[in-house]
Structure 1
Amino acid sequence: MGKDEKIKKIKNLNKKIVLAPMAGITNGDFCKRFKGLFGIVTIGAYSLDKDSLNASREIVKRGREEFIYNLDDFGDIIRDEIKKARESNALVSVNVRFKNLEESLERLKIISKHADIIELNCHCRQKEITNLGIGQELLKNKELLRSYLIGMADLNVPIFLKVRANFVGLEELIETLNYTRDYFDGIHIDCFNPGKDYADLEVLKEISKNFSDKIIIGNNSVKSIEDAKNMLRYANFVSVARCILRGDIEWIKEFNAMEM
């Protein structure tokens, strides 16, 4: 299946709720617990090179969860995780982080052969990751982001960006995404709203307007049918995380059964 066909398959999904990535949590075993619930499940974030994996180890020392493994075994590990995630009956997206593209490229190629989407992490705000100039720091470095995306251009898989709103200004975010728009197919945007317990839908609205040619996944504070409907005014899909950890999934079942 070619990349265009894979993009069409994503666009035609009936289920509009996506499982967002949660480092150290969303692996294959986690995803397969939710058979039939999601249109897309996202596993990761996975660190693909020595620098980012060492950063993950430092994060674990602070008590946070991360996926830790031997990089030499990554091919077998990710194939197994994707296979298990497919038991959810959803498409599988793999969220990735890396500092060194050259070191990571073979691992990206393996992912591209088995996953439906590769999602480049421009979102993580953990200091061990941002100190490498990656995660959300990529939103301040459009040249580096573009170089990563150009290096991934030959992968036969849709490329999405997971980005954080209100880390840089909206104009700068749009400018960075415009600068790289030829090299990605979707935007998974955390509508982070500093100091608020609800999503910044105005940012989502502007992203949707400026990137109508891309697949848009909205994220942040989606915990009810009403929240999902509000976000779907400006997005193709919405993603959830914390409500899943709480076991709050009945509303998703109801939402999936609704006529849209």
Structure 2
Amino acid sequence: MFAPRLAVASLSGEAGAEWATRAAPYVGCAFLGGIAIDGATRNAAREMVARDREEFLPPDPVAFVDAQFAALESVDVRPAVNVRSRTLPPISEVGAVCAARGAVLEINAHCRQDEMCAAGAGQRLLREPERLCEQVEAAAESGAAVSVKVRTEVDGVDLPALAGRLDSAGADALHVDAMDSEGVVGEVVEAAPGAFVVANNGVRDRETAVEYLEFGADAVSVGRPSDDPAVLDRVERAVSEWFAREEAVTDA
């Protein structure tokens, strides 16, 4: 899906094309966003801004995504965009843009802000798997590569079981915020054999990256310190060395 197998993860209202360009020397993929793309989630984003959160609120979110990708056309990184929506048509529209740009469309089933969950998006989708699978199917039908950003430790959610359903629905990747349950990454890998699993949370150095890779993750992502070149450099070196060793063992 991308190489090197290190990504930078979206930071609400901060992760745009300029941010991705700065990270590009170290990473294979940059998840822009998160971006609210339908009426319900845009209203929620406005409420979040009113209490001093950062959010992208362009007049036309689909055109905004396309413009961000255009700004990355000559940058050596695979673009992706993390989106939040309650409804399906905007997912299809953004998916068409992603398909045309060779980008990844990531459905946000991760945001835990009250406003976004009340709007029917974010981690609320983890508790409504039928709706989440419908979003994955709509994204896949657009022709885009599809990722789903999920999190562990959500009460009442069997994440490995859900991961299997998302894999069957057409998800190409699962981007797992492991919280304090790193071992769940291995369970997701086992439950969703067709998905490229990106592990997230606390990735700062060789030790934290290798822990996820040992659980079977196909890649890792860096969140909050994604604008720190020193962090990105040491994680990229650790990831690349890990996969070089794995390839050598396979070829032996």
Query: Superposition pairs for residues 84-163 of structure 1, below 5 Å?
Result: 84-163=71-150
How far the C-alpha of 1:33 sits from its partner, in A, is 1.4
- Residue 223 (structure 2) pairs with residue 228 (structure 1): no
Rounded Cα–Cα distance in structure 2 between residues aligned with 1:116 and 1:250 = 24
Identity among equivalent positions (%) equals: 24
How far the C-alpha of 1:23 sits from its partner, in A, is 1.1
TM-score by length of 1: 0.85
1:21 corresponds, among 2, 6, 10, to: 10
Rounded Cα–Cα distance in structure 2 between residues aligned with 1:144 and 1:254 = 39
- Residue 38 (structure 2) pairs with residue 49 (structure 1): yes
Rounded Cα–Cα distance in structure 1 between residues aligned with 2:150 and 2:237 = 28
Q: Kindly indicate whether the alpha-carbon contact (under 8 Å) linking 1:32 and 1:86 is maintained by their aligned counterparts in 2.
A: no
Amino acid at match of 1:173: L
Structure 1 counterpart of 2:187: 206
Structure 2 counterpart of 1:30: 19
What SS class does the counterpart of residue 201 from structure 1 fall into?
coil
What SS class does the counterpart of residue 227 from structure 1 fall into?
helix
What is the aligned residue count? 240
What SS class does the counterpart of residue 140 from structure 2 fall into?
coil
How far the C-alpha of 1:231 sits from its partner, in A, is 0.9
How far the C-alpha of 1:220 sits from its partner, in A, is 0.4
Alignment CA distance shift 1:86-1:26 (3 Å): farther
Rounded Cα–Cα distance in structure 1 between residues aligned with 2:218 and 2:161 = 22
Structure 2 counterpart of 1:174: 160
| Structure 1 residues without counterparts, runs of 5 or longer | 1-9, 194-199
TM-score by length of 2: 0.87
Structure 2 counterpart of 1:59: 48
1:238 corresponds, among 209, 216, 220, to: 220
After superposition, the C-alpha distances for 1:183-205 in whole angstroms (9 at most, x for unaligned) are 21111000012xxxxxx221111
Q: Kindly indicate whether the alpha-carbon contact (under 8 Å) linking 1:44 and 1:95 is maintained by their aligned counterparts in 2.
A: yes
What SS class does the counterpart of residue 67 from structure 2 fall into?
helix
After superposition, the C-alpha distances for 1:11-38 in whole angstroms (9 at most, x for unaligned) are xx44111101111111001111123210
Aligned CA-pair RMSD: 2.0
After superposition, the C-alpha distances for 1:68-124 in whole angstroms (9 at most, x for unaligned) are 1112xx343222211223444111111111112135532332233224211100000
| Structure 2 residues without counterparts, runs of 5 or longer | 246-252
Q: Kindly indicate whether the alpha-carbon contact (under 8 Å) linking 1:119 and 1:161 is maintained by their aligned counterparts in 2.
A: yes
After superposition, the C-alpha distances for 1:14-65 in whole angstroms (9 at most, x for unaligned) are 4111101111111001111123210111101111111111111111111111
After superposition, the C-alpha distances for 1:113-157 in whole angstroms (9 at most, x for unaligned) are 224211100000011100112100101001111222232331112
Amino acid at match of 1:19: V
